[in-house]
Structure 1
Amino acid sequence: MTSIPARCGILTTEEVAITEETDVGTILHNLATKKWSAFAVTTAYLKRAIVAHQLTNCLTEIFIESAQSRARFLDEHLATTGQVLGPLHGLPISLKDQFCIKGVETIMGYVSWVGRIADKNAVLVDMLLEAGAIPFVRTNVPQSLMWGETYNHVFGRTTNPYNIHLTSGGSSGGEGALIGLKGSPLGVGTDIGGSVRIPAAFCNIYALRPSYNRLPYQGAVNSMAGQESVTSVLGPMSNSISGLKIFVKAILDGRPWDLDPLVPRLPWNQAAYELVEHGSGGRLCFGLLLHDQHTMPHPPIIRALEAVREALTNAGHQVIDWSPYRHKELYDVQWLIETADMAQGVLNECSATGEPFIISMEPKDADAALNAPPGQDPPQKPSPFHPKHLTTYELWKLHELKRQLRKDYLDEWQASVKRTNTGRPIDALITPVAPFVAPLHGKNDNYFYTMLFNSLDYPTIAFPVGFVDKDKDISLERIEFFTPEDRSNHEMYSPETFHGAPIGLQVATRTQEEEALLGMMEVIDKALRRHPMLR
């Protein structure tokens, strides 16, 4: 299905060439040197995005007139001054349906938000415009954002660009599907429990989950507004690592702390990107987590992890096994914090119109909710949210526990210096994104691997590592299981069902090390490209 946009006949030969170029640095160079006009690039991506939408239902807004008008303005500016407007001059950028654009609806998957027009831009949108970018589409999300699957009662379900029977993930699943079909060179999603990394892993792209508040969130709508112990963060998603790096540097160079009071005054750190504190990248040591003692990953995930180990070792780096340290406690405390209000905000928004509160992403449950007779409540299941409101004191104690768990994990990380041969603790930690590749719709219900890094506030990049091969990734016999969820996950696996689905992993560093993480991701990517799994 991923080949359809290029061969469907809707795009010209030049438009196919433009949209098939995945390196954002190359796209920007071609724009700056006038090889490609901003108008031609924007039109190409508009057309490809519309094709992607027909294939996966990934969009909520398409800004044809305003995007092309801005592209003409940028072309005139370059022709008149000989200078680009900013570091993102002429680059089309897609946005999750969470970032407010003045004069445009921001629905966030709620029926009650239809017709709610933003009176000003989110800070990120203003910064993108200042940098010369062209917002050209917005992408679909789940109701409330709090799901790992993209489905709501307004726009429906977004499917996977490699297999429509599989999920694109969530909550930034619209972005994942769009970029996976090369319908956008660079997009922006958000992440509080894996919401950029899960779609990235499921759709064969890269995504960065930065540290709390490192990038400006001001003016974006959200669920659980006011919950600031585990904060949602915005993150770039792209088909290239260069897209992530260029986005982060452009935003930090724009001084976001002058526009968002929560952003720390931390300019782009070139020395960190060059890995000066990590041996200048010459010999790194990576921790490798094969499983979290809660859910064993499926065979293709294990194969990908071992491929990364082999690739990095062959490139001269050290890889040591990493054992899960209080991972279940970190997951539990974040879950309790996030659900402390018994989903009151979600229920308030749904009750405004009588919209059914989605309690399952299973297609049969969604159909039952939508098809309930007028005046009759749809069939209900137990809510996945916490069954009672927590007192302020109980919430404070959870915050205290989370802080101590972060300290304990930092100590464990630092203690790894005794096991490395670099004289440093591990430089980064590589883990699964999920115990499965993109599952069937309604089955993405395990966030243990991603929420770990939200709790710790470690910046994390999801990256692609090949595809499921039914002949290599055969089912394995198991007798003992860690948990009931582990057994259920094992029974879900079928090589035939997942054949051809993308495989993704994630790599994390310690908090506020975004630049170093990007540098290490380039090291990993270079090593992997020499490995047979990615040839």
Structure 2
Amino acid sequence: MEPSAEPEWRLLCARKRKDLQDSIPTAWRIPHAPIHDHPNVLDVPGTCGILNKKELIITETTDVNVILEKLKTAEWSSLEVTTAFCKRAVVAHQLTNCCTEIFVDRALDRARYLDETLAKTGKPVGPLHGLPVSLKDQFTIKGLETVMGYVSGVGQYADKDSVLVEMLNQCGAVLYVRTNVPQTLMWGETHNHVFGRTLNPYNRSLTPGGSSGGEGALVAMKGSPLGVGTDIGGSLRIPSTFCGLYTLRPSYARLPYYGAANALTGQESISSVLGPMTNSLSGVKEFMTAIIGAKPWNLDPVVIRKPWDEDEWNLSEHGGVGGQLCFAIMWDNGVVKPHPPLIRAMEMTKAALEKAGHKVIDWENHRHLEIYKNAETIFVADGNHDYKTECAKSGEPLITTMVPTKEEEVAEGYEYEPQYPFVKTLVGDPPEHRNAYELWRLHDEKRELRKSYLDHWQNTVNRTGTGRPVDAIISPAVAHTAVPHGLVTDSFYTTLCNALDYTTSVFPVTHVHPDLDRRHTRHKFYNYEDEFIYKLYETNIFEGCPVGLQLIGKTLEEEAVLRMTYIVDDALREWKTTNNLN
């Protein structure tokens, strides 16, 4: 028997992709839509004929509270809600390549069980009764492979659920798909050898971000009412802002991570955290109250024993609900200056908050470059050993750039070919491997930087006029909106929060408008990355892209940060209505 011309790792990828394709029910398949002819595909679920009228009503309902209420009262059955979102997820996957596992039969069986239990007992199974929930391809589910962007994951079936999966089942959720991630998880883009590249449904020539990019694309297509991703340097917030979503990056150990697959396992100075991604703030709150209410500290030994705090939700340390808040806007972090749409979004938010009676001041940056250097050095302290070890298990090569190959561009019909001098890459000299003592010194430096930043924040009490320090910071999550594939770089707006462990949300504000978002003239730049991002901006490429911002609170302020995000979101809605803006 002649040896195969293809290396074994490629054969494994092909087999896994075929399994994924075969999991799509024949009746739910749609004709191929070339990117060149159909860059924006948000309307396809409503026009392709796969979903019936009621299924479209269900999946177009973005308020998770409404869906849950209809499920708990049996106005909508879990079976029909699950079927609707399964269909829409499958359509979304065919257009954006967002899924890694589609297990419809398993999900429908679960939905039938929940419906039967509600009918027999008259009580919902839990706070998320009957709600379909999608998961990033890190959360292990018994009996399914957890690929996590590595070929070595193909054929590795989980023998038990991760704690989050266990708790979602306890809360009555229905799991039905898992979503794509980048190889290594440490990219703001979503691409790997096994499943390929995930596309942004607003413009498929652009990235949905990463590493939770599969979730971002799926939720933006309304193929999921509630998704769960993770974040170690912006992996929840980058795809959420690129895809027009809400999210919450909680502080370390507030939510249960135990049993999930991960990269850089054992690195605990800057911990990865999980969080929800949704089209509504109600989805974020329902997820947080459900999981925290189920006492995750009884299943994950790292989780902090902190029940949902109604006092914090009512802003007990921020003047109380209905009081005047003081927000600080970080117009520019001193590392990369934001693109014009981000500046306009901050101006809109400032105007909305001031009209609502709140104070807005400018944030004064503090030691950002030192924090940036410290965090990035910690991330690569192993000299890329983790990435290389995982790739060596299958023989697949380490992906060193997210820029599409010429073959990929031709096959997929991308309209945009990047020609820029700076693109994030792993090519070049490998990072220096740090010994244990050197790593400890980095940890010590990080602790000192956190203390310095806290003191700086506390000292804003002299500028707020409220008798309190700044209640929250508002800033870009990324210096730009969604960009062509391979061009996402770390502009540090997100990683700052991971390094300092600040609870952070993301909320959508507006969309790129060519007439309102013209390029600003600049002649001086902070660094070569700042210059690269400045030159990247062209309104004809980014027109219509979502523009979001992040709201930054202090450590373990999940309840208060979420409540303040509601306040900002409500103020923006009122301001837009008053000014006749979309």
Residue matched to 1:372: none
Determine which of 266, 278, 284 is the counterpart of 2:325: 284
Aligned partners of 1:97 and 1:140 also within 8 Å: yes
Distance in 1 between the 2:491 and 2:305 partners? 31
Q: Does 1:43 align with 2:87?
A: no
Residue matched to 2:252: 212
Query: Cα RMSD between the aligned structures?
Result: 1.6
Residue matched to 2:271: 231
Residue matched to 2:374: 333
Distance in 2 between the 1:214 and 1:530 partners? 32
Determine which of 418, 435, 443 is the counterpart of 2:487: 443
Aligned partners of 1:148 and 1:198 also within 8 Å: yes
SS at match of 1:363: coil
Q: Does 1:299 align with 2:340?
A: yes
The code of the aligned residue for 1:459 comes to T
1:447-489 Cα distance to aligned partner (Å, 9 max, x none): 4100000000001011111100011101121111121111111
Distance in 2 between the 1:366 and 1:447 partners? 29
Q: Does 1:147 align with 2:187?
A: yes
Q: Does 1:514 align with 2:558?
A: yes
Distance in 2 between the 1:357 and 1:451 partners? 23
Residue matched to 2:517: 473
Q: Does 1:54 align with 2:94?
A: yes
Q: Cα offset for 1:156?
A: 0.3
The code of the aligned residue for 1:139 comes to T
Determine which of 86, 90, 99 is the counterpart of 2:126: 86
Aligned partners of 1:194 and 1:447 also within 8 Å: no
Aligned partners of 1:336 and 1:386 also within 8 Å: no
Distance in 2 between the 1:291 and 1:447 partners? 10
Task: Summarize the alignment of residues 130-529 of structure 1 with structure 2, pairs less than 5 Å apart.
Answer: 130-281=170-321, 282-364=323-405, 383=427, 387-529=431-573
SS at match of 2:494: helix
1:273-319 Cα distance to aligned partner (Å, 9 max, x none): 11122111321110100011121111000000110000000000001
Q: Cα offset for 1:33?
A: 1.0
Instruction: Give the 3 Å change call, closer, same or farther, for CA 174–467 of structure 1 in structure 2.
Output: same
SS at match of 1:278: coil
The code of the aligned residue for 1:103 comes to G
SS at match of 1:449: coil
Q: Does 1:108 align with 2:152?
A: no
SS at match of 1:277: coil
1:84-109 Cα distance to aligned partner (Å, 9 max, x none): 00000000000000000000000011
Q: Cα offset for 1:3?
A: 1.5
Aligned partners of 1:150 and 1:174 also within 8 Å: yes
Q: Cα offset for 1:366?
A: 9.1
Distance in 2 between the 1:206 and 1:289 partners? 19
Bigger CA drift: 524-533 or 168-177?
A: 524-533
Q: Cα offset for 1:331?
A: 1.4
Q: Cα offset for 1:329?
A: 1.2
Aligned partners of 2:384 and 2:431 also within 8 Å: no
Aligned partners of 1:406 and 1:456 also within 8 Å: yes
SS at match of 2:460: helix
Residue matched to 1:63: 103
Aligned partners of 1:58 and 1:174 also within 8 Å: yes
Aligned partners of 1:189 and 1:196 also within 8 Å: yes
Q: Cα offset for 1:387?
A: 2.1
The code of the aligned residue for 2:351 comes to E
Distance in 2 between the 1:3 and 1:317 partners? 38
Distance in 1 between the 2:520 and 2:431 partners? 37
Q: Cα offset for 1:7?
A: 2.1
Q: Cα offset for 1:382?
A: 5.4
SS at match of 2:405: helix
Instruction: Give the 3 Å change call, closer, same or farther, for CA 384–274 of structure 1 in structure 2.
Output: farther
Distance in 2 between the 1:68 and 1:356 partners? 38
Residue matched to 1:371: none
Distance in 2 between the 1:290 and 1:59 partners? 36
Distance in 1 between the 2:471 and 2:109 partners? 46
Distance in 1 between the 2:481 and 2:350 partners? 19
Distance in 2 between the 1:366 and 1:155 partners? 16
Q: Cα offset for 1:446?
A: 2.0
Q: Cα offset for 1:323?
A: 1.9
1:369-402 Cα distance to aligned partner (Å, 9 max, x none): xxxxxxxxxxxx7537852210111100000000
Instruction: Give the 3 Å change call, closer, same or farther, for CA 384–97 of structure 1 in structure 2.
Output: farther
The code of the aligned residue for 1:406 comes to R
Determine which of 92, 97, 112 is the counterpart of 2:137: 97
Distance in 1 between the 2:572 and 2:94 partners? 33
Instruction: Give the 3 Å change call, closer, same or farther, for CA 217–382 of structure 1 in structure 2.
Output: closer
SS at match of 1:286: strand
Distance in 2 between the 1:531 and 1:6 partners? 30
Distance in 1 between the 2:272 and 2:124 partners? 32
Determine which of 49, 64, 70 is the counterpart of 1:9: 49
Distance in 2 between the 1:385 and 1:292 partners? 28
The code of the aligned residue for 1:478 comes to R
SS at match of 1:481: coil
Q: Cα offset for 1:2?
A: 1.1
Distance in 2 between the 1:145 and 1:254 partners? 28
Aligned partners of 2:355 and 2:575 also within 8 Å: no
SS at match of 1:531: helix
Q: Cα offset for 1:367?
A: 6.1
Q: Identity rate of aligned residues, in percent?
A: 55
**What residue ranges of structure 1 are gaps of 5+ in the alignment?**
369-380
Distance in 2 between the 1:155 and 1:6 partners? 26
SS at match of 1:419: helix
Q: Cα offset for 1:421?
A: 1.6
Distance in 1 between the 2:312 and 2:432 partners? 44
Distance in 2 between the 1:497 and 1:154 partners? 29
1:98-121 Cα distance to aligned partner (Å, 9 max, x none): 000000000011112110000100
Q: Cα offset for 1:364?
A: 2.4
Distance in 2 between the 1:16 and 1:385 partners? 51
Distance in 1 between the 2:403 and 2:347 partners? 32
SS at match of 2:135: strand
Distance in 2 between the 1:385 and 1:399 partners? 24
SS at match of 2:318: helix
Distance in 1 between the 2:236 and 2:427 partners? 24
Aligned partners of 1:339 and 1:385 also within 8 Å: no
Residue matched to 1:128: 168
Task: Summarize the alignment of residues 12-23 of structure 1 with structure 2, pairs less than 5 Å apart.
Answer: 12-23=52-63
**What residue ranges of structure 2 are gaps of 5+ in the alignment?**
1-40, 410-424
